[in-house]
A and B are shown apart, each in its own frame.
Chain A
Amino acid sequence: MALSIATRQLDGVTILDLSGRITLGEGSVQLRDAVRDLISKGVKHILLGLGDVNYIDSSGLGELVSAFTTAKNQGADVKLLNLTKKVKDVLQVTKLYTVFDIFDDEASAIASFK
Chain B
Amino acid sequence: MAVVAWRADRAETDPLTEPQKGRLSFKLASTMDSVAEVEAAAEKFTQAAGLDEDESFRVVMAVREAAVNAVLHGNGYDPNKQVSASFENTGKSLVITIADQGEGLDPATLPDPLAPENLLRGTGRGIFLIRSFLDEVHFRQLHPGTELTLIKHLQPVASEGAEQTQ
Given known A-B contacts A93-B129, A94-B129, A57 and B64 have beta carbons under 8 A apart: yes
Complex CA–CA separation, A68 to B120 (angstroms): 9
Which one, A35-43, A44-52, A59-67, A106-114, is touching chain B? A59-67
* A58 touching B114, Cβ below 8 Å: no
Q: Is the CB of A57 within 8 A of B68?
A: yes
Are the C-beta atoms of B126 and A58 separated by less than 8 Å?
yes
CA distance A48 to B129 in the complex (A): 23
Interface size class of A (residues with CB under 8 A): 20 to 34
User: Does any Cβ of A come within 8 Å of B132's Cβ?
Assistant: yes
A66-B12 Cα distance, complex, nearest whole Å: 49
The answer to whether B125 touches A94, judged by C-beta atoms less than 8 angstroms apart, is: yes
Contact between chains at B121 and A65 (CB < 8 Å): yes
The number of residues on chain B lying at the interface, defined by a beta carbon within 8 Å of a beta carbon of chain A, is 23
Provide the bound-state CA to CA distance between A53 and B84, in Å.
Answer: 30
Kindly provide the distance from the CB of B74 to the nearest chain A CB, expressed in whole angstroms: 14
B145 at the binding interface (Cβ < 8 Å): no
Given A57-B64, A95-B114, the answer on whether A90 and B120 have CB atoms closer than 8 Å is no
Q: Which of A58, A69, A95, A99 contacts B129 (CB 8 A)?
A: A58
Question: CB-nearest residue of chain A relative to B69?
Answer: A58
Closest residue of B by beta carbon distance from A85: B54
Q: In the complex the two chains form, is A24's CB within 8 Å of B72's CB?
A: yes
**Bound-state Cα–Cα, A99 to B125, Å:** 15
Chain A residues with CB under 8 A of B119: 95-96, 99
| New contact pairs (15) apart from A63-B122, A90-B129, CB-CB < 8 Å | A24-B72, A25-B32, A55-B61, A57-B61, A57-B64, A58-B65, A58-B125, A59-B68, A65-B121, A66-B122, A86-B57, A89-B54, A94-B114, A99-B119, A99-B120
